[in-house]
Structure 1
Amino acid sequence: MKVGVITFPGTLDEGDAKRAVKLAGGEAVDLWHADTDLKGVDAVIIPGGFSYGDYLRCGAIASLAPVMGSVIDRAKGGMPVLGICNGFQVLCEAGLLPGALIRNDQQKFICREQVLRVENNTTAWTNGYDQDAEITIPLKNGEGSYQALDETIEELEGEGRVVFRYVDVNPNGSRNNIAGITNAAGNIVGLMPHPEHAVEKGFGPDSALGTRTGLDGLPLFQSVLGVLQ
């Protein structure tokens, strides 16, 4: 299965995302921001970084890049899309996910190991997890506070579209401790923490449960490959 990984000017985690795809058993395909051809990929990952230097608003310029027009069309047709950190911001700016990511409430960049609870394990990207599993993956952001209108939050909660929730501590002021969400169809997921940094033993944080040392992010990438087979 082919999973495209987009590079924008300022992207810095595309190498890690491609490695995660390969470790999960897929074929990673490079996609460039200025191209419209998705090269026949079956899914797309928008990785973290600082696309276009985070000018204007984080992810705002990237959401208008030529490649995103093709991603939006395919995503609306059911193609799985994952946005990580800056990628989550891009998905919100592109209108594929509701809400927005704003400056962390303490006005500081955060870099830490973060415990998350899997709130929805039925999406294309989370079906490899147990429901309510607690996982530990890295978090690194300056604009990671998820905000949305009250009615949007009620809709996300009522429809089970909160995919990941921060456990024990809310690191950035996100409403309802939301760390990641999905669209109604479950093919599009955005999250602020970085699962691609927890896919190899010895290189990722210890699991909250101590059962998947350094590997808590890998099921996201394995999940989508299982869906695509």
Structure 2
Amino acid sequence: MNNVVPARDAAVVMVEAEEPIEFHTSVIVGLDMQKKELDPSPNVWSQDGVVEGAIVSGLYAKAYKEEFIQLDSFTANEAKKYDLEGYNQKSIDKTQAGGYEQRFYYISVSSLEFPTVYKAYLQNNNLSNDSELLRSLFLKDNPDFSNVSISCRYFFKSKGLPKQEEVDKMREDLNLSKGLPKGLYSIDVYKNFIVNRVGLPNGDSTRAQELQK
């Protein structure tokens, strides 16, 4: 458990898993606001598909470990090249719940799009140690990985937002880069500002056209 965020008659608990797969997610715990304590009966739930999708994203990163190491290096080099910043680990741990999340990107995927992968993992958690088998299951469910969204997110160190042509250059860099995990990529560069309450940018960004790799 990394953080607890108050909600109406509940608390949102930010959770991090490290082994056997890595991901961030959240669960909701019901509260008795009159007594200001946990409900007497177990009352813990999550939004539909949130935890399941986070698990599949962690499995994807585990199955294609070398490709994600390459993506870590690529995004870090892009940040240096274009004078950008990303989330620090503390911010990720306390505010993010999107699945497999790193400093400059995160994966969005639904377990409904990868039923074979998810079912196999539920039946055998040790599956995460067999990258070759995991890869075969992912390929069975979605061979072109069009159902995997890899969102690259950066913060512009200078005032305001970068010009569109600069972000378009980043897209071209991505297009030319080899050895990255497959998926539908997006690139957003936000203002150098985060809303502390939710740990998210204020919404304004310069975005590149999506790219399937």
TM > 0.5? no
Q: Which fold has the larger relative contact order, with Cα–Cα distance below 8 Å and residues 6 or more apart in sequence?
A: 1
Which is higher, the Rg of structure 1 or of structure 2? 2
TM-score scaled by structure 1?
0.27
Q: Which has a greater percent of helix?
A: 2
TM-score scaled by structure 2?
0.29
